[in-house]
Protein backbone atom coordinates (compact mmCIF):
# COMPACT_ATOMS: atom_id res chain seq x y z
CA UNK A 1 0.00 0.00 0.00
CA UNK A 2 1.05 3.59 -0.52
CA UNK A 3 2.42 5.54 2.41
CA UNK A 4 0.71 8.90 2.80
CA UNK A 5 0.73 11.53 5.46
CA UNK A 6 -2.38 12.07 7.50
CA UNK A 7 -3.03 15.43 5.85
CA UNK A 8 -2.54 14.14 2.33
CA UNK A 9 -4.73 11.12 2.98
CA UNK A 10 -7.55 13.22 4.39
CA UNK A 11 -7.24 15.66 1.51
CA UNK A 12 -7.46 12.80 -0.95
CA UNK A 13 -10.66 11.73 0.72
CA UNK A 14 -12.09 15.21 0.40
CA UNK A 15 -10.97 15.49 -3.23
CA UNK A 16 -12.57 12.17 -4.12
CA UNK A 17 -15.86 13.15 -2.56
CA UNK A 18 -15.84 16.56 -4.24
CA UNK A 19 -15.25 14.87 -7.57
CA UNK A 20 -17.98 12.32 -6.92
CA UNK A 21 -20.63 14.75 -5.76
CA UNK A 22 -20.83 18.30 -6.97
CA UNK A 23 -23.08 19.37 -4.14
CA UNK A 24 -20.13 19.09 -1.74
CA UNK A 25 -18.52 22.43 -0.92
CA UNK A 26 -16.06 23.70 1.65
CA UNK A 27 -16.17 26.91 3.66
CA UNK A 28 -13.54 28.38 5.93
CA UNK A 29 -10.92 31.04 6.37
CA UNK A 30 -8.10 30.62 3.89
CA UNK A 31 -9.36 27.37 2.40
CA UNK A 32 -9.62 28.85 -1.11
CA UNK A 33 -6.55 29.77 -3.10
CA UNK A 34 -4.43 29.51 0.01
CA UNK A 35 -5.28 25.83 0.43
CA UNK A 36 -6.03 25.97 4.13
CA UNK A 37 -3.92 26.84 7.12
CA UNK A 38 -3.30 23.10 7.57
CA UNK A 39 -3.18 22.37 3.83
CA UNK A 40 -6.55 20.70 4.01
CA UNK A 41 -7.64 21.96 0.59
CA UNK A 42 -4.42 22.48 -1.37
CA UNK A 43 -5.07 22.10 -5.08
CA UNK A 44 -8.85 22.01 -4.88
CA UNK A 45 -9.54 25.68 -5.56
CA UNK A 46 -7.88 25.31 -8.94
CA UNK A 47 -10.29 22.46 -9.74
CA UNK A 48 -13.52 23.76 -8.26
CA UNK A 49 -13.28 27.51 -7.87
CA UNK A 50 -14.58 29.92 -5.29
CA UNK A 51 -18.15 28.66 -4.96
CA UNK A 52 -17.07 25.22 -3.81
CA UNK A 53 -13.96 26.40 -1.97
CA UNK A 54 -15.43 29.38 -0.21
CA UNK A 55 -13.16 31.72 1.69
CA UNK A 56 -15.14 33.45 4.38
CA UNK A 57 -14.86 36.45 6.66
CA UNK A 58 -14.14 35.63 10.32
CA UNK A 59 -17.70 34.68 11.20
CA UNK A 60 -17.76 31.18 12.62
CA UNK A 61 -21.29 31.49 13.87
CA UNK A 62 -22.37 32.97 10.58
CA UNK A 63 -20.98 30.32 8.31
CA UNK A 64 -22.04 27.43 10.53
CA UNK A 65 -25.59 28.75 10.51
CA UNK A 66 -25.33 29.32 6.80
CA UNK A 67 -24.09 25.80 6.18
CA UNK A 68 -26.87 24.44 8.35
CA UNK A 69 -29.35 26.12 6.03
CA UNK A 70 -27.42 24.88 3.02
CA UNK A 71 -27.48 21.29 4.27
CA UNK A 72 -31.27 21.55 4.62
CA UNK A 73 -31.65 22.59 1.01
CA UNK A 74 -29.75 20.15 -1.11
CA UNK A 75 -26.03 20.76 -0.71
CA UNK A 76 -23.37 19.13 1.46
CA UNK A 77 -21.16 21.63 3.26
CA UNK A 78 -17.81 20.85 4.80
CA UNK A 79 -16.94 23.50 7.36
CA UNK A 80 -13.19 23.79 7.86
CA UNK A 81 -12.55 25.54 11.18
CA UNK A 82 -8.77 25.40 10.88
CA UNK A 83 -8.39 25.17 14.66
CA UNK A 84 -11.41 23.48 16.22
CA UNK A 85 -11.25 26.10 18.98
CA UNK A 86 -13.02 28.50 16.66
CA UNK A 87 -16.13 26.31 16.67
CA UNK A 88 -17.15 27.67 20.06
CA UNK A 89 -18.72 30.82 18.67
CA UNK A 90 -21.04 28.56 16.70
CA UNK A 91 -22.22 26.34 19.53
CA UNK A 92 -25.70 27.81 19.60
CA UNK A 93 -26.17 27.04 15.94
CA UNK A 94 -24.72 23.58 16.23
CA UNK A 95 -26.45 22.40 19.37
CA UNK A 96 -29.86 23.95 18.89
CA UNK A 97 -30.12 23.89 15.13
CA UNK A 98 -27.72 21.66 13.21
CA UNK A 99 -28.08 18.73 15.60
CA UNK A 100 -31.82 19.01 16.12
CA UNK A 101 -33.35 19.74 12.75
CA UNK A 102 -33.55 16.15 11.58
CA UNK A 103 -35.39 15.28 14.75
CA UNK A 104 -37.65 18.30 14.79
CA UNK A 105 -38.62 17.70 11.19
CA UNK A 106 -39.24 14.01 11.91
CA UNK A 107 -36.57 13.04 9.45
CA UNK A 108 -38.06 14.98 6.58
CA UNK A 109 -34.94 17.13 6.47
CA UNK A 110 -31.45 15.69 6.60
CA UNK A 111 -28.31 17.41 7.82
CA UNK A 112 -25.33 16.36 5.71
CA UNK A 113 -22.70 18.65 7.16
CA UNK A 114 -19.11 17.96 8.15
CA UNK A 115 -17.39 20.08 10.78
CA UNK A 116 -13.67 19.59 10.65
CA UNK A 117 -10.96 21.15 12.73
CA UNK A 118 -7.56 20.56 14.22
CA UNK A 119 -7.40 19.71 17.88
CA UNK A 120 -4.90 18.92 20.53
CA UNK A 121 -2.22 20.11 22.84
CA UNK A 122 1.30 20.65 21.58
CA UNK A 123 3.71 23.03 19.91
CA UNK A 124 3.10 25.80 22.43
CA UNK A 125 -0.17 26.57 20.69
CA UNK A 126 -1.49 27.99 23.96
CA UNK A 127 -4.97 28.10 25.29
CA UNK A 128 -6.93 29.34 22.29
CA UNK A 129 -5.45 26.87 19.83
CA UNK A 130 -5.24 23.61 21.77
CA UNK A 131 -8.82 22.57 22.40
CA UNK A 132 -10.30 19.09 22.15
CA UNK A 133 -13.96 19.50 23.06
CA UNK A 134 -15.16 16.18 21.66
CA UNK A 135 -16.89 15.00 24.86
CA UNK A 136 -19.34 17.86 24.49
CA UNK A 137 -20.47 16.55 21.13
CA UNK A 138 -20.62 12.99 22.40
CA UNK A 139 -22.79 14.11 25.31
CA UNK A 140 -25.32 15.91 23.18
CA UNK A 141 -27.72 14.17 20.84
CA UNK A 142 -27.49 14.57 17.10
CA UNK A 143 -23.77 14.53 16.38
CA UNK A 144 -21.32 11.96 15.07
CA UNK A 145 -17.71 12.42 16.15
CA UNK A 146 -14.74 10.93 14.32
CA UNK A 147 -11.26 10.97 15.90
CA UNK A 148 -8.92 9.32 13.41
CA UNK A 149 -5.46 8.26 14.52
CA UNK A 150 -4.04 6.98 11.22
CA UNK A 151 -3.86 8.34 7.67
CA UNK A 152 -5.98 5.46 6.41
CA UNK A 153 -8.70 6.19 8.94
CA UNK A 154 -8.44 9.89 8.27
CA UNK A 155 -9.28 9.31 4.65
CA UNK A 156 -11.87 6.60 5.17
CA UNK A 157 -13.65 8.35 8.01
CA UNK A 158 -13.72 11.65 6.19
CA UNK A 159 -15.29 10.00 3.17
CA UNK A 160 -17.90 8.39 5.41
CA UNK A 161 -18.48 11.75 7.07
CA UNK A 162 -19.07 13.54 3.81
CA UNK A 163 -21.50 10.88 2.60
CA UNK A 164 -23.34 10.82 5.91
CA UNK A 165 -26.65 12.65 6.18
CA UNK A 166 -25.87 13.51 9.81
CA UNK A 167 -23.74 16.30 11.27
CA UNK A 168 -20.26 14.84 11.71
CA UNK A 169 -17.32 16.31 13.57
CA UNK A 170 -14.09 15.23 11.95
CA UNK A 171 -11.22 16.06 14.26
CA UNK A 172 -7.54 15.96 13.40
CA UNK A 173 -4.87 16.12 16.04
CA UNK A 174 -2.22 18.64 15.05
CA UNK A 175 0.53 16.27 16.12
CA UNK A 176 -0.79 13.60 13.75
CA UNK A 177 -0.90 15.71 10.60
CA UNK A 178 2.57 14.82 9.39
CA UNK A 179 2.54 11.21 10.51
CA UNK A 180 2.63 8.66 7.70
CA UNK A 181 0.94 5.36 7.15
CA UNK A 182 -0.42 2.97 4.54
CA UNK A 183 -3.49 4.06 2.59
CA UNK A 184 -5.31 1.96 -0.04
CA UNK A 185 -5.26 3.08 -3.65
CA UNK A 186 -7.47 5.94 -4.67
CA UNK A 187 -9.78 3.67 -6.66
CA UNK A 188 -10.41 1.49 -3.59
CA UNK A 189 -12.97 4.05 -2.43
CA UNK A 190 -12.61 2.78 1.12
CA UNK A 191 -15.18 3.99 3.61
CA UNK A 192 -14.42 3.40 7.28
CA UNK A 193 -17.69 2.85 9.12
CA UNK A 194 -18.60 4.84 12.21
CA UNK A 195 -18.96 3.00 15.51
CA UNK A 196 -16.43 0.28 14.74
CA UNK A 197 -13.35 0.30 16.97
CA UNK A 198 -10.00 -0.98 15.75
CA UNK A 199 -7.88 -3.32 17.82
CA UNK A 200 -4.46 -1.84 17.16
CA UNK A 201 -2.52 -4.40 19.10
CA UNK A 202 -3.64 -7.68 20.62
CA UNK A 203 -2.70 -8.70 24.12
CA UNK A 204 -4.14 -10.66 26.99
CA UNK A 205 -3.01 -8.88 30.14
CA UNK A 206 -4.65 -5.51 30.03
CA UNK A 207 -6.95 -3.53 27.78
CA UNK A 208 -6.07 0.06 26.98
CA UNK A 209 -8.53 2.23 25.13
CA UNK A 210 -6.68 5.18 23.68
CA UNK A 211 -8.07 8.13 21.77
CA UNK A 212 -6.56 9.89 18.80
CA UNK A 213 -2.90 10.83 19.31
CA UNK A 214 -2.86 8.72 22.46
CA UNK A 215 -3.19 5.60 20.30
CA UNK A 216 0.32 6.13 18.99
CA UNK A 217 1.75 6.87 22.39
CA UNK A 218 0.02 3.85 23.87
CA UNK A 219 1.37 1.61 21.12
CA UNK A 220 4.85 2.83 21.97
CA UNK A 221 4.25 2.18 25.64
CA UNK A 222 2.85 -1.26 24.82
CA UNK A 223 5.98 -2.06 22.83
CA UNK A 224 8.09 -1.04 25.81
CA UNK A 225 6.04 -3.19 28.16
CA UNK A 226 6.23 -6.20 25.86
CA UNK A 227 9.92 -6.40 26.81
CA UNK A 228 8.76 -6.93 30.37
CA UNK A 229 6.30 -9.57 29.34
CA UNK A 230 3.19 -7.43 29.72
CA UNK A 231 0.78 -8.05 26.83
CA UNK A 232 -1.28 -4.95 26.18
CA UNK A 233 -4.35 -4.89 23.98
CA UNK A 234 -4.77 -1.44 22.45
CA UNK A 235 -8.16 -0.35 21.20
CA UNK A 236 -8.81 2.74 19.11
CA UNK A 237 -12.53 3.58 19.10
CA UNK A 238 -12.05 5.80 15.99
CA UNK A 239 -15.42 7.43 16.62
CA UNK A 240 -16.61 8.49 20.05
CA UNK A 241 -20.17 9.01 18.86
CA UNK A 242 -21.21 6.37 18.16
CA UNK A 243 -18.94 4.60 20.62
CA UNK A 244 -18.17 0.94 20.05
CA UNK A 245 -18.31 -0.39 23.58
CA UNK A 246 -18.83 -3.97 22.44
CA UNK A 247 -15.29 -4.27 21.14
CA UNK A 248 -13.98 -2.85 24.41
CA UNK A 249 -16.11 -5.27 26.43
CA UNK A 250 -14.90 -8.20 24.41
CA UNK A 251 -11.35 -7.28 25.27
CA UNK A 252 -12.07 -6.57 28.92
CA UNK A 253 -13.74 -9.97 29.27
CA UNK A 254 -10.41 -11.41 28.22
CA UNK A 255 -8.04 -9.17 30.20
CA UNK A 256 -10.12 -8.18 33.23
CA UNK A 257 -8.32 -4.83 33.30
CA UNK A 258 -9.05 -1.54 31.59
CA UNK A 259 -7.23 1.73 31.27
CA UNK A 260 -8.52 4.62 29.18
CA UNK A 261 -5.96 7.10 27.90
CA UNK A 262 -7.22 10.44 26.69
CA UNK A 263 -5.42 13.73 26.24
CA UNK A 264 -8.62 15.57 27.07
CA UNK A 265 -9.93 16.45 30.54
CA UNK A 266 -11.18 13.62 32.72
CA UNK A 267 -14.38 14.98 34.32
CA UNK A 268 -17.43 13.90 32.36
CA UNK A 269 -15.18 12.89 29.49
CA UNK A 270 -15.08 9.94 27.13
CA UNK A 271 -13.11 7.88 29.62
CA UNK A 272 -15.80 8.40 32.24
CA UNK A 273 -18.41 7.17 29.80
CA UNK A 274 -16.41 4.10 28.83
CA UNK A 275 -15.73 3.35 32.47
CA UNK A 276 -19.40 3.69 33.39
CA UNK A 277 -20.56 1.47 30.55
CA UNK A 278 -17.97 -1.21 31.20
CA UNK A 279 -18.82 -1.20 34.90
CA UNK A 280 -22.48 -1.57 34.03
CA UNK A 281 -21.99 -4.36 31.56
CA UNK A 282 -18.93 -6.29 32.70
CA UNK A 283 -18.72 -5.66 36.42
CA UNK A 284 -18.13 -9.27 37.32
CA UNK A 285 -15.39 -9.66 34.78
CA UNK A 286 -13.23 -6.86 36.11
CA UNK A 287 -10.23 -7.92 38.14
CA UNK A 288 -9.21 -4.39 39.08
CA UNK A 289 -10.70 -0.92 39.11
CA UNK A 290 -10.96 0.76 35.74
CA UNK A 291 -8.37 3.49 35.49
CA UNK A 292 -8.27 6.70 33.51
CA UNK A 293 -5.22 8.60 32.41
CA UNK A 294 -6.12 12.04 31.17
CA UNK A 295 -4.60 15.38 30.42
CA UNK A 296 -4.79 17.71 33.39
CA UNK A 297 -7.99 19.71 33.66
CA UNK A 298 -6.66 23.17 33.05
CA UNK A 299 -6.52 25.84 30.39
CA UNK A 300 -3.53 24.97 28.24
CA UNK A 301 -0.44 27.01 29.08
CA UNK A 302 2.02 28.22 26.47
CA UNK A 303 5.42 27.58 27.97
CA UNK A 304 6.74 24.22 26.78
CA UNK A 305 7.55 22.78 30.23
CA UNK A 306 4.10 23.71 31.52
CA UNK A 307 2.44 22.34 28.42
CA UNK A 308 4.40 19.09 28.64
CA UNK A 309 3.21 18.62 32.20
CA UNK A 310 -0.36 18.30 30.99
CA UNK A 311 -0.46 15.40 28.61
CA UNK A 312 0.02 11.64 29.00
CA UNK A 313 3.38 10.59 27.61
CA UNK A 314 4.69 7.21 26.56
CA UNK A 315 6.37 6.92 29.97
CA UNK A 316 3.32 7.95 31.97
CA UNK A 317 1.14 5.60 29.96
CA UNK A 318 3.55 2.73 30.54
CA UNK A 319 3.63 3.51 34.25
CA UNK A 320 -0.16 3.59 34.45
CA UNK A 321 -0.39 0.24 32.69
CA UNK A 322 2.22 -1.26 34.98
CA UNK A 323 0.33 0.00 38.03
CA UNK A 324 -2.94 -1.42 36.76
CA UNK A 325 -1.44 -4.80 35.98
CA UNK A 326 -0.01 -4.88 39.50
CA UNK A 327 -3.40 -4.23 41.15
Partner 1 sequence: MHAAAEVADHTGLELDKNRLLALYREMLLIRRTEEQLARSYQKGDIPGACHTYVGQEAVAVGVCARLRRDDVVFSTHRGHGHALAKGVPPREVMAELFGRATGCSRGRGGSMHLFSPEVGLMGTTGIVGPNILQATGAGYSFRLLKNARVSVGFFGDGAVNNGAFHEGLNLAAIWDLPVLYVCENNLYATEVAFGAATRNTDVAERARGYGMAGVAVDGNDVLAVAAAAEEAVRRARAGDGPTLLECRTYRTRPHAEGMRDGGYRTPAEVDDWKRRDPIAALRARLLGSGTADEEEFAAVDAEITAIVADALRFATDSPYPDPATATAHIYSDG
Asked if residue 93 binds ligand TPP (CB under 6 A), the reply is no
Nearest to 149 by CA among 179, 126, 129: 179
Q: In the complex, which residue's CB is closest to ligand TPP? A: 86
Verify whether residue 129 is a known catalytic residue: yes
Q: Binding of a copy of itself at residue 99 (CB under 8 A)? A: yes
Residue 186 per-residue DSSP state: G
Distances in Å between the Cα of 115 and the Cα atoms of 34, 63, 190 are: 19, 11, 20
The answer to whether the beta carbons of residues 15 and 7 sit under 8 Å apart is no
**Residues belonging to the chain:** 327
Site size with partner 1, rule: CB under 8 A: 75
Nearer CB in complex with ligand TPP: 127/313: 127
Give which of a copy of itself, partner 1, ligand TPP, none residue 51 binds (C-beta under 5 to 8 Å, depending on kind). partner 1
Q: Distance (Å, rounded) from C-alpha 192 to C-alpha 189?
A: 10
49 binds partner 1 (CB under 8 A): no
* Shortest separation between residue 323's beta carbon and a copy of itself, angstroms: 12
What's the burial of 104, exposed, middle or buried (CB within 10 Å: 0-12/13-18/19+)?
A: exposed
Nearer to a copy of itself, 163 or 281 (CB): 281
Answer yes or no whether residue 304 interacts with partner 1 by CB under 8 A.
yes
Positions 263 through 302 that interact with a copy of itself (CB under 8 A): 265-273, 275-276, 279-281, 283, 286, 288-292, 297-299, 301
- Name which of residues 142 to 171 contact partner 1 (CB under 8 A): 142, 144, 164-166
Strand partners, 119: 173
86 touches ligand TPP (CB under 6 A): yes
Q: Residue 217: how many CB atoms within 10 A of its CB?
A: 22
Residue 97 or 164: which CB sits closer to a copy of itself? 97
Where does residue 120 fall: left (phi above 0), alpha (psi -120 to 50 degrees), or beta otherwise?
left
Stretch that binds a copy of itself, among 6-14, 135-143, 172-180, 181-189 (CB under 8 A): 135-143
Establish whether the linkage from the previous residue to 180 is cis, with ω within 30° of 0.
no
User: Does 58 engage in binding with ligand TPP (CB under 6 A)?
Assistant: yes
Binding of a copy of itself at residue 76 (CB under 8 A)? no
Could you give the CA distance from residue 224 to residue 239 in angstroms, rounded to a whole number? 27
- Residues numbered 18-47 forming contacts with ligand TPP, rule: CB under 6 A: 29
- Contact residue for a copy of itself among 103, 186, 226, 323 (CB under 8 A): 103
CB of 134 to a copy of itself, least distance (A): 9
Query: According to the binding rule CB under 8 A, does residue 62 interact with partner 1?
Result: yes
Q: Which is nearer to a copy of itself, 42 or 124 (CB)?
A: 124
Q: Are 218 and 125 in contact (CB under 8 A)?
A: no
CB-based contact 301:322 (threshold 8 Å) = no
User: Catalytic positions, please?
Assistant: 129
Amino acid sequence: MRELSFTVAAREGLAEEMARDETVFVVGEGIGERGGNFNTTVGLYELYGPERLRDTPIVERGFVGMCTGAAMTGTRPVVDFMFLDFILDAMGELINQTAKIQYMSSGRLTMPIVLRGCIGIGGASATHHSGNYYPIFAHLPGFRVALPSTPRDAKGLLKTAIRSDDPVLFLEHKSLLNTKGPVPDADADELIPFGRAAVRRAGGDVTVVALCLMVNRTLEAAADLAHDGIAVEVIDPRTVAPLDVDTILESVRKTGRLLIVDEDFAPAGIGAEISAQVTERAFDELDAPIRRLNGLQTPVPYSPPLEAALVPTRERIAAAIRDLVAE
